[in-house]
Amino acid sequence: MSCHEFHPNFLLVLNFYMIKYYKLIIKQFAIYQILDKIF
Protein backbone atom coordinates (compact mmCIF):
# COMPACT_ATOMS: atom_id res chain seq x y z
CA MET A 1 0.00 0.00 0.00
CA SER A 2 1.52 3.28 -1.12
CA CYS A 3 1.19 6.70 0.50
CA HIS A 4 -0.82 7.94 -2.47
CA GLU A 5 -3.70 5.54 -1.81
CA PHE A 6 -6.35 7.18 0.32
CA HIS A 7 -8.00 5.38 3.18
CA PRO A 8 -11.82 5.29 2.68
CA ASN A 9 -12.41 7.00 6.03
CA PHE A 10 -9.87 9.69 5.21
CA LEU A 11 -12.23 11.36 2.75
CA LEU A 12 -15.07 11.26 5.26
CA VAL A 13 -12.89 12.84 7.94
CA LEU A 14 -11.59 15.41 5.47
CA ASN A 15 -15.14 16.20 4.36
CA PHE A 16 -16.24 16.59 8.00
CA TYR A 17 -13.40 19.02 8.77
CA MET A 18 -13.95 20.93 5.53
CA ILE A 19 -17.61 21.50 6.47
CA LYS A 20 -16.65 22.39 10.05
CA TYR A 21 -14.04 24.95 9.00
CA TYR A 22 -16.21 26.24 6.15
CA LYS A 23 -18.99 27.09 8.61
CA LEU A 24 -16.44 28.67 10.97
CA ILE A 25 -15.02 30.82 8.15
CA ILE A 26 -18.53 31.93 7.09
CA LYS A 27 -19.31 32.84 10.71
CA GLN A 28 -16.08 34.85 10.97
CA PHE A 29 -16.81 36.53 7.63
CA ALA A 30 -20.34 37.44 8.77
CA ILE A 31 -18.94 38.98 11.97
CA TYR A 32 -16.45 41.03 9.96
CA GLN A 33 -19.23 42.19 7.63
CA ILE A 34 -21.34 43.31 10.61
CA LEU A 35 -18.40 45.11 12.23
CA ASP A 36 -17.62 46.76 8.91
CA LYS A 37 -21.18 48.15 8.75
CA ILE A 38 -21.11 49.40 12.36
CA PHE A 39 -17.78 51.21 12.14
Q: How many CA atoms lie within 13 A of 20 on its CB side?
A: 6
Q: What is the pTM of this model?
A: 0.47
Residue 1's alpha-carbon distances to 5, 10, 14, in angstroms, are 7, 15, 20
Q: Which string of DSSP letters, residue by residue, matches 12-28?
A: HHHHHHHHHHHHHHHHH
Residues 7-36 pLDDT 10s: 778 888 888 999 999 999 999 999 999 888
CA distances from 3 to 7, 14, 17 (A): 10, 16, 21
* 38 has a pLDDT exceeding 70: yes
Q: DSSP state, 10? A: H
| pLDDT score, position 9 | 83
The pLDDT value given to residue 21: 93
- Residue 1 confidence class, pLDDT cut points 50, 70, 90: very low
